[in-house]
Amino acid sequence: MPDAMAAARRLLQRHFGYPDFRPAQARVIQSVLAGHDTLAILPTGGGKSICFQIPALVFGGLTVVVSPLIALMQDQVAAARARGMSAAGMHSALDATEREAIWASLRAGSLRLLYVSPERLTTLSLELAAAGIRPALLAVDEAHCVTEWGHDFRPSYRTLGRSRYRVGRPPCVALTGSATPEVRSDIATVLRFRPGRFHTHLGSFDRPNLWFGVVAVDGEGDRLRALLDLLAGDDQMVIVYAPTRGLTEAIARALVRAGHRAAPYHAGLTKSRRASALQDFLEDRVDVMVATCAFGLGIDKPDVRLVVHWTLPATPEAYYQEAGRAGRDGGFARCVLLWRRGDAGLHRRQLDVTFPPRRVLERLWRDPKAVAAGNVRESAERLRHELKPESGPVNWKPTDDRRGKAERRIVAMERYAGDRSCRRKMLLEYFGEHLERCAGCDRCRGDRRSPPLDPAVRARLAALRRELGGRAGPWGGSLLEPDVLRCLAEQPPATAGALAAVPGVGPTLAARVGGVILRALGSEPPAVASRQSAPLRGALERWRDGVSAAMGVPAYQVLSDAALDALAAGEVRDRSSLARLPGVGPRTLAKFGDALLRLVTEHGSNPNDR
């Protein structure tokens, strides 16, 4: 174990630039490296990904990572690759050539991180077993989805334990930012953790920089007025959560009419319109994003200052996850719920759709052509597969229990909105944590504000987010944590070496995108530019931009900034010197070597020879 942890720290320094793990991370990683099944509940910003990425590198084999959404996987894969880790995502957005390339890496044993959905793992587990590929580790990211989505929305989450056994029962680490004791027990059961033989690591759920409040409203018009009053404050970036697609669009239109830069975001929009709205939000061209609940999982917008819920969410888990999109940079942020008595009626009606009354189910099972709403019919078919009424008397207890739990979550949200107790205390106690002192809510009246950023720091932060925001994937995940971005903006490193020494950056990332970061900060060393051939530099950048656009990947995945700098400085004259550049491996050399050498010949000469 000491040797494994020492190796883990070296890898952490190389790929992330941190000299050591945070205490909570260290405990989780020690457990994983020792081969224990591990359940880790770490708060937003707690560095959950490191808890499986570094062990994956230490183990040296394949780690399979279960992730809930394709866009989130794409972000995670791109960010891992940018830090020098061999990673890929297996999902429906790939073409046949891309899938075959992944399988070639799997067969060669060179892939360290493979991100998949739970549905894809169902078939992939059989394929891996048939190919004799046994993962060294299984990681389940956003593990609360096992309970929240598994029963009645994405049943493949409930079969993860079976898939795990198919691939040889590797050690498993499950990670989430929020889970009640009941949910934690459910996750362990589904993943087939052996009772008393797995390790649980709990971080605090408290986010002291978030302020919680509820605004009581009398009706829909009053709700809009309350929202406009909230937006009249000094909050710069805002997310408004609404329960339906139609409401997101109606609210966004009302906000635009009131003079706000607002846009809707939901699954019913075209892919291009969603991408455009998201990019506008990430690049601060839109101040208010009005979205359904799917928005936010994995989206890296650290400076959201206000999250408003248009109406009561169905569960405290959903509320805390969505409210937690605020203040990821550690700055003060508000989380406000607009609430009217009777708001929970929508969720109770939805329960009658998810769990139709017994008489309705029995009628539909007897007569599939009986009149019923489409979504009720879908629930009846789902429950028929689960309860198997054709096999004899139905055991209603599992569905009755699930409905009862869902009802209790609704009641917990009603209590949060209507009681006169401390909001933060109620939320944390729901997750099983005792609160000593409230850091801020409308009942306790704490409302501390962060001092405004210096304009120069704000400008550098904006430049960094603009340059790095779109480099990880389609949901704009940043390559750097919010605290690292702020550190860079407040104390810009003057050289590539100084950048590599910044905790959270490290030499691997600095080699790949260091030029981008230094240019965004306005601190690119002049000596670099003076050694470079301007015509060659321009030709190389145009070539890299064209290839990245054609491949649909960020430019740094085609050729690292360090390699581009060396080429432009005349350090490459043949294939052997090209192969020695940082980030130029056999695959890059085979695909692009001839084109790069041709550009060097056509556009460049070594400035030192002039």
Residue 446 lies in a domain: yes
- The model's pTM is 0.71
Hey, is 239 helix, strand or coil?
strand
In angstroms, the CA 1 to CA 29 distance is 10
Which pLDDT belongs to residue 484? 82
- For range 439-459, the mean pLDDT: 72
Residue 120 near residue 68 (C-beta atoms within 8 A): no
Q: Which residue has the higher pLDDT, 521 or 28?
A: 28
- At residue 217 the predicted structure's pLDDT band, cuts being 50, 70 and 90, is very high
- At residue 252 the predicted structure's pLDDT band, cuts being 50, 70 and 90, is very high
Residue ending a domain, choose from 524, 556, 571: 524
Which pLDDT belongs to residue 582? 61
- For range 550-558, the mean pLDDT: 65
Residue ending a domain, choose from 450, 471, 503: 450
> pLDDT tens digit string along 160-214?
999 999 999 999 999 998 888 888 999 999 999 998 889 999 888 888 899 999 9
In angstroms, the CA 527 to CA 57 distance is 36
- For range 446-460, the mean pLDDT: 66
My answer on whether 42 and 167 are in the same domain is yes
Give the total number of structural domains in the chain.
Answer: 4
My answer on whether 23 and 154 are in the same domain is yes
My answer on whether 416 and 350 are in the same domain is yes
- pLDDT of residue 275 exceeding 50: yes
Which residue range forms the structural domain that includes residue 484?
455-524
Q: Please tell me the total number of residues recorded for the chain in this structure.
A: 610
Which pLDDT belongs to residue 599? 86
Residue 490 lies in a domain: yes
Residue 199 near residue 31 (C-beta atoms within 8 A): yes
My answer on whether 52 and 173 are in the same domain is yes
Which pLDDT belongs to residue 455? 73
CATH number, domain containing residue 137: 3.40.50.300
- Mean pLDDT, rounded, of the chain: 84
Which pLDDT belongs to residue 578? 82
Residue 279 lies in a domain: no
Question: How many Å is the maximal CA-CA distance in the chain?
Answer: 90
My answer on whether 72 and 87 are in the same domain is yes
My answer on whether 395 and 345 are in the same domain is yes
Structure tokens at 199: 């390790």
> pLDDT tens digit string along 498-521?
888 888 888 878 877 787 888 888
Structure tokens at 608: 């030192």
My answer on whether 313 and 405 are in the same domain is yes
Residues of the chain above pLDDT 90, percent: 37
Structure tokens at 531: 């050694």
Residue ending a domain, choose from 509, 524, 539: 524
- At residue 608 the predicted structure's pLDDT band, cuts being 50, 70 and 90, is very low
Query: What is the DSSP-derived secondary structure letter of residue 66?
Result: E
Structure tokens at 391: 């096999």
Q: Is the dihedral of CA 146, 479, 293, 315 positive or negative?
A: positive
- For range 394-403, the mean pLDDT: 90
- At residue 301 the predicted structure's pLDDT band, cuts being 50, 70 and 90, is confident
Residue 438 lies in a domain: yes
Structure tokens at 522: 């306005």
Lowest mean pLDDT among 31-35, 375-379, 577-581: 577-581
Which pLDDT belongs to residue 526? 47
My answer on whether 227 and 127 are in the same domain is no
Which pLDDT belongs to residue 372? 78
Which pLDDT belongs to residue 471? 47
- For range 60-84, the mean pLDDT: 87
- At residue 474 the predicted structure's pLDDT band, cuts being 50, 70 and 90, is very low
CATH number, domain containing residue 505: 1.10.150
In angstroms, the CA 291 to CA 214 distance is 19
